[in-house]
Amino acid sequence: MLLTRRLKVIVTLAILSTPLFPRLACSQDSSTPDSRVESELAAMGKRGAVIARARDQVLTILQEENACTAWFRQADPDPAGVFQSLHYEIGSGKPAYIFRMADGRGEQFFKQPWAARTTENGGPNSTVELNANGPFFNYISPVMEVRPGGIPVRPAGLQRLAIASFRGETNEAQMTALLHELGHIIGRLPEDDDSWDGRSSRNTAEVLRHCKDEIRRKAKGSSQRTD
């Protein structure tokens, strides 16, 4: 009986301590997880600085009580903590075109280069990959006309990039992209992919339904500080 109880206690402790263990293991050196992410970003040069600014802004949104934080909390009790643990990579040589495709009736469809991607339900310490050619870092992109099936036909000028109603490369677009990826990482948003079906746009619309006011407020605050 005693043995059983002791085993139960050990098992319970083991279960309780499992989520803590990676953090304890990681905190053996003197740097905090946050300062490690910051130094990773500092090593990425100008683009790292762009990510760091948007990351700071998103972090302050998630550390405050607001509709955006409350929405993320429905999927994870500590969205700010998960967000703070994330790592970043910049992918180059990724889709660098806006693809334009006409269907048989002359209607045109566009597909932008993706902004960011990550792992669905990846949890703390996931990596967010940002496309060097996407709307996180650029406001304009070359257009490539493609045939149904994705076969490139010819270049077709330049067009603006955007994330929902925010122009590419703006502070608002960058915060939206990071919040969208957090949505995947904690399973707040369903999986989407780089297809023509608009699922990614619907996910972005869902993020903005809850977070647009906070995003606008932060972007306004930052331009007031820097102007």
Residues that bind Zn ion (CB under 5 A): 192, 200, 203
In the complex, what is the shortest distance from the CB of residue 180 to Zn ion, in angstroms, rounded to a whole number?
5
Q: How far is the CB of 83 from Zn ion (least distance, A)?
A: 16
- In the complex, the smallest distance separating the C-beta of residue 155 from Zn ion, rounded to whole angstroms, is 27
Do the beta carbons of residue 99 and residue 142 sit within 8 Å?
no
> Which residue, judged by CB position, is nearest to Zn ion in the bound state?
192
DSSP per position, 73-136: HTT-S-HHHHHHT-EEEEE-SS--SEEEEE-TTS-EEEEPPP-EE--TT--TT-EEEEETTSTT
Cβ(184)–Cβ(120) below 8 Å: yes
Which of residues 101 and 207 has its CB atom nearest to Zn ion in the complex?
A: 207
Amino acid at 121: N
Say how far residue 77 (Cα) sits from the centre of its chain: 18
* Residue 4 phi, psi (nearest 5): -60, -45
Closest contact distance (angstroms) between CB of 15 and Zn ion is: 32
The residue (of 48 and 183) whose beta carbon lies closer to Zn ion is 183
User: By C-beta, is 118 or 171 nearer to Zn ion?
Assistant: 118
Of residues 169 and 192, the one with the C-beta less far from Zn ion: 192
Contact residues for 129 (Cβ-Cβ < 8 A; gap 6+): 88, 89, 90, 91, 116, 117, 118
Dihedral pair phi/psi, residue 145, rounded to 5°: -80, 135
Q: In whole angstroms, what is the distance from residue 149 CA to residue 193 CA?
A: 17
Kindly state the smallest distance separating residue 75's Cβ from Zn ion, in Å: 14
Least distance CB 70 / Zn ion (angstroms): 21
Q: Using CA of residue 80, residue 86, residue 92, residue 98, what is the dihedral sign?
A: negative
Which structure tokens are listed for 10? 């050990």
In the complex with Zn ion, the residue whose CB is nearer, 84 or 203, is 203
Our CB check for Zn ion shows the closer of 85 and 200 to be 200
